[in-house]
Amino acid sequence: MIPDDGFIPFFRQATPIDAIETSKIGSRPAKRTGASTLSDLRAIPWVFSWSQARFHITSWFGLGHALDRLQKEQPEAYGQLKSSVKTDDFIHYVLQNVDVSVAEADEHLMQAYADLVEDAEVRGRLMKVFMDELHAIRSQLDRLLGRSFAERRAKEYYSGQLRAGLLNRLHERQIELLRQWRAQREDKPEAAAQTHTDLMLTINAIAGALGATG
Protein backbone atom coordinates (compact mmCIF):
# COMPACT_ATOMS: atom_id res chain seq x y z
CA MET A 1 0.00 0.00 0.00
CA ILE A 2 2.66 2.57 1.03
CA PRO A 3 5.76 2.60 -1.22
CA ASP A 4 8.90 1.91 0.79
CA ASP A 5 10.93 4.42 -1.21
CA GLY A 6 10.97 7.70 0.71
CA PHE A 7 8.48 6.73 3.40
CA ILE A 8 10.86 7.04 6.37
CA PRO A 9 12.11 10.53 5.36
CA PHE A 10 8.49 11.58 4.78
CA PHE A 11 7.43 10.34 8.20
CA ARG A 12 10.37 11.94 9.98
CA GLN A 13 9.92 15.31 8.25
CA ALA A 14 6.11 15.57 8.00
CA THR A 15 5.48 14.74 11.67
CA PRO A 16 7.08 15.99 14.91
CA ILE A 17 8.52 12.54 15.63
CA ASP A 18 12.03 13.95 16.13
CA ALA A 19 10.73 16.34 18.81
CA ILE A 20 8.63 13.62 20.44
CA GLU A 21 11.73 11.40 20.63
CA THR A 22 13.38 14.02 22.84
CA SER A 23 10.51 14.17 25.32
CA LYS A 24 10.43 12.35 28.63
CA ILE A 25 6.86 11.09 28.53
CA GLY A 26 7.31 7.40 29.19
CA SER A 27 9.36 4.80 31.00
CA ARG A 28 11.12 3.67 27.82
CA PRO A 29 12.87 5.47 24.96
CA ALA A 30 11.00 6.09 21.69
CA LYS A 31 13.36 3.72 19.83
CA ARG A 32 14.34 0.22 20.87
CA THR A 33 17.93 0.35 19.57
CA GLY A 34 18.29 3.86 18.17
CA ALA A 35 17.91 2.95 14.48
CA SER A 36 15.69 5.13 12.28
CA THR A 37 13.44 2.31 11.09
CA LEU A 38 9.76 1.52 11.57
CA SER A 39 10.55 -1.78 13.25
CA ASP A 40 12.70 0.03 15.83
CA LEU A 41 10.09 2.64 16.72
CA ARG A 42 7.80 1.98 19.64
CA ALA A 43 4.03 2.16 19.19
CA ILE A 44 3.32 5.23 21.32
CA PRO A 45 5.56 7.72 19.47
CA TRP A 46 4.45 6.21 16.14
CA VAL A 47 0.76 6.90 16.87
CA PHE A 48 1.48 10.15 18.72
CA SER A 49 3.41 11.72 15.85
CA TRP A 50 0.76 10.92 13.23
CA SER A 51 -2.00 12.32 15.45
CA GLN A 52 -0.04 15.54 16.06
CA ALA A 53 0.19 16.06 12.28
CA ARG A 54 -3.52 15.23 11.97
CA PHE A 55 -3.00 12.25 9.67
CA HIS A 56 -4.24 9.61 12.18
CA ILE A 57 -3.32 6.95 9.61
CA THR A 58 -2.69 4.31 12.28
CA SER A 59 -6.44 3.77 12.71
CA TRP A 60 -7.76 3.95 9.14
CA PHE A 61 -5.05 3.56 6.51
CA GLY A 62 -5.75 0.64 4.17
CA LEU A 63 -9.27 -0.03 5.39
CA GLY A 64 -10.97 1.99 2.65
CA HIS A 65 -8.94 0.18 -0.01
CA ALA A 66 -9.81 -3.21 1.52
CA LEU A 67 -13.52 -2.39 1.69
CA ASP A 68 -13.51 -1.13 -1.90
CA ARG A 69 -12.02 -4.43 -3.03
CA LEU A 70 -14.51 -6.42 -0.98
CA GLN A 71 -17.40 -4.47 -2.45
CA LYS A 72 -16.12 -4.98 -6.00
CA GLU A 73 -14.90 -8.57 -5.82
CA GLN A 74 -17.26 -10.08 -3.23
CA PRO A 75 -20.49 -8.05 -3.30
CA GLU A 76 -22.41 -10.68 -1.36
CA ALA A 77 -19.90 -10.66 1.49
CA TYR A 78 -19.89 -6.85 1.42
CA GLY A 79 -23.68 -6.87 1.71
CA GLN A 80 -23.43 -9.19 4.72
CA LEU A 81 -20.90 -6.85 6.32
CA LYS A 82 -23.16 -3.88 5.76
CA SER A 83 -26.09 -5.70 7.33
CA SER A 84 -23.99 -6.83 10.29
CA VAL A 85 -23.12 -3.22 11.18
CA LYS A 86 -26.60 -2.99 12.70
CA THR A 87 -26.57 -6.40 14.39
CA ASP A 88 -22.96 -7.13 15.38
CA ASP A 89 -21.80 -5.05 18.33
CA PHE A 90 -18.11 -5.67 17.66
CA ILE A 91 -18.22 -4.61 14.01
CA HIS A 92 -20.29 -1.57 14.91
CA TYR A 93 -17.83 -0.63 17.66
CA VAL A 94 -14.79 -0.94 15.38
CA LEU A 95 -16.33 1.16 12.62
CA GLN A 96 -17.50 3.79 15.10
CA ASN A 97 -13.93 4.14 16.39
CA VAL A 98 -12.56 4.41 12.87
CA ASP A 99 -15.25 6.99 12.13
CA VAL A 100 -14.18 9.25 14.98
CA SER A 101 -10.50 8.96 14.04
CA VAL A 102 -11.16 9.73 10.37
CA ALA A 103 -13.06 12.83 11.46
CA GLU A 104 -9.93 14.05 13.27
CA ALA A 105 -7.87 13.76 10.07
CA ASP A 106 -7.61 17.18 8.47
CA GLU A 107 -6.61 17.41 4.80
CA HIS A 108 -5.51 21.05 5.01
CA LEU A 109 -3.27 20.38 8.01
CA MET A 110 -1.96 17.14 6.53
CA GLN A 111 -0.77 19.08 3.52
CA ALA A 112 0.70 21.84 5.69
CA TYR A 113 2.81 19.28 7.62
CA ALA A 114 3.72 17.50 4.39
CA ASP A 115 5.15 20.77 3.10
CA LEU A 116 7.98 20.19 5.61
CA VAL A 117 9.15 17.25 3.46
CA GLU A 118 12.14 18.41 1.45
CA ASP A 119 11.85 16.02 -1.50
CA ALA A 120 8.97 17.28 -3.68
CA GLU A 121 8.64 13.98 -5.56
CA VAL A 122 8.35 11.95 -2.34
CA ARG A 123 5.97 14.50 -0.85
CA GLY A 124 3.64 14.50 -3.84
CA ARG A 125 3.68 10.74 -4.34
CA LEU A 126 2.96 9.82 -0.73
CA MET A 127 0.40 12.55 -0.19
CA LYS A 128 -1.56 11.20 -3.15
CA VAL A 129 -1.53 7.76 -1.51
CA PHE A 130 -2.72 9.18 1.81
CA MET A 131 -5.41 11.39 0.29
CA ASP A 132 -6.75 8.61 -1.94
CA GLU A 133 -7.00 6.33 1.09
CA LEU A 134 -8.67 9.00 3.20
CA HIS A 135 -11.29 9.67 0.54
CA ALA A 136 -11.87 5.91 0.17
CA ILE A 137 -12.50 5.29 3.86
CA ARG A 138 -14.73 8.35 4.17
CA SER A 139 -16.89 7.09 1.30
CA GLN A 140 -17.05 3.60 2.77
CA LEU A 141 -18.03 4.87 6.21
CA ASP A 142 -20.84 6.93 4.71
CA ARG A 143 -21.97 3.84 2.80
CA LEU A 144 -21.75 1.40 5.71
CA LEU A 145 -22.91 3.60 8.57
CA GLY A 146 -25.39 5.69 6.62
CA ARG A 147 -25.78 9.48 6.46
CA SER A 148 -22.92 11.97 6.63
CA PHE A 149 -20.61 12.25 9.63
CA ALA A 150 -22.31 15.53 10.63
CA GLU A 151 -25.65 13.71 10.76
CA ARG A 152 -24.59 10.47 12.41
CA ARG A 153 -22.23 12.04 14.99
CA ALA A 154 -23.48 15.59 15.36
CA LYS A 155 -21.87 16.17 18.78
CA GLU A 156 -18.36 15.25 17.57
CA TYR A 157 -18.84 17.17 14.33
CA TYR A 158 -19.81 20.46 15.96
CA SER A 159 -17.20 20.03 18.69
CA GLY A 160 -14.56 19.71 15.99
CA GLN A 161 -15.86 22.80 14.24
CA LEU A 162 -15.64 24.82 17.46
CA ARG A 163 -12.08 23.68 18.21
CA ALA A 164 -10.78 24.11 14.67
CA GLY A 165 -10.04 27.83 14.84
CA LEU A 166 -7.77 27.63 17.86
CA LEU A 167 -6.29 24.24 16.95
CA ASN A 168 -5.36 25.37 13.47
CA ARG A 169 -3.31 28.21 14.96
CA LEU A 170 -1.51 25.78 17.23
CA HIS A 171 -0.71 23.50 14.31
CA GLU A 172 0.54 26.40 12.22
CA ARG A 173 2.76 27.49 15.10
CA GLN A 174 4.08 23.95 15.54
CA ILE A 175 4.96 23.69 11.86
CA GLU A 176 6.79 27.00 12.04
CA LEU A 177 8.72 25.88 15.14
CA LEU A 178 9.59 22.50 13.61
CA ARG A 179 11.08 24.20 10.59
CA GLN A 180 12.99 26.65 12.81
CA TRP A 181 14.23 24.03 15.31
CA ARG A 182 15.47 21.70 12.60
CA ALA A 183 17.42 24.54 11.01
CA GLN A 184 18.98 25.58 14.34
CA ARG A 185 19.93 22.22 15.88
CA GLU A 186 23.46 21.88 14.50
CA ASP A 187 24.73 25.45 14.33
CA LYS A 188 22.72 27.36 16.95
CA PRO A 189 22.31 25.14 20.02
CA GLU A 190 21.22 27.89 22.41
CA ALA A 191 18.54 29.18 20.06
CA ALA A 192 17.52 25.61 19.31
CA ALA A 193 17.03 24.92 23.03
CA GLN A 194 14.53 27.78 23.38
CA THR A 195 12.76 26.82 20.17
CA HIS A 196 12.56 23.24 21.42
CA THR A 197 10.86 24.40 24.63
CA ASP A 198 8.27 26.33 22.61
CA LEU A 199 7.82 23.36 20.28
CA MET A 200 7.15 20.97 23.15
CA LEU A 201 4.51 23.36 24.47
CA THR A 202 2.65 23.12 21.17
CA ILE A 203 2.86 19.32 21.29
CA ASN A 204 1.40 19.33 24.80
CA ALA A 205 -1.32 21.81 23.84
CA ILE A 206 -2.38 19.90 20.73
CA ALA A 207 -2.42 16.59 22.62
CA GLY A 208 -4.59 18.18 25.30
CA ALA A 209 -6.99 19.65 22.76
CA LEU A 210 -7.31 16.38 20.86
CA GLY A 211 -7.43 14.31 24.03
CA ALA A 212 -4.96 11.85 22.54
CA THR A 213 -1.27 10.98 22.44
CA GLY A 214 -0.22 7.46 21.50
The secondary structure of 114-146 as a DSSP string is: HTT-S-HHHHHHHHHHHHHHHHHHHHHHHHHH-
The pLDDT value recorded for residue 186 is 86
Q: Is residue 139 part of a domain?
A: yes
In a domain, 174, yes or no: yes
pLDDT at position 3 is 56
Indicate whether 100 belongs to any domain. Answer: yes
Instruction: Give the pLDDT of residue 112.
Output: 97
Query: Domain of 69?
Result: 7-210
- Which ranges in the chain belong to alpha helices (H)? 7-14, 17-20, 43-52, 57-60, 63-73, 75-84, 89-104, 107-114, 120-145, 149-152, 154-184, 189-210
pLDDT tens for the 214 residues of the chain, in order = 555 689 999 999 999 999 998 887 654 555 555 555 666 667 778 899 999 999 999 999 999 999 999 999 999 999 999 999 999 999 999 999 999 899 899 999 999 999 999 999 999 999 999 999 999 999 999 999 988 777 777 677 667 777 778 889 999 999 999 999 999 988 898 988 999 999 999 999 999 888 877 6
pTM of the model: 0.87
Q: Is residue 1 part of a domain?
A: no
Which pLDDT belongs to residue 27?
A: 45
- 159 within a domain of the structure (yes/no): yes
Count of structural domains within the chain: 1
Question: Is 2 a domain residue?
Answer: no
- Whether residue 125 lies inside any domain: the answer is yes
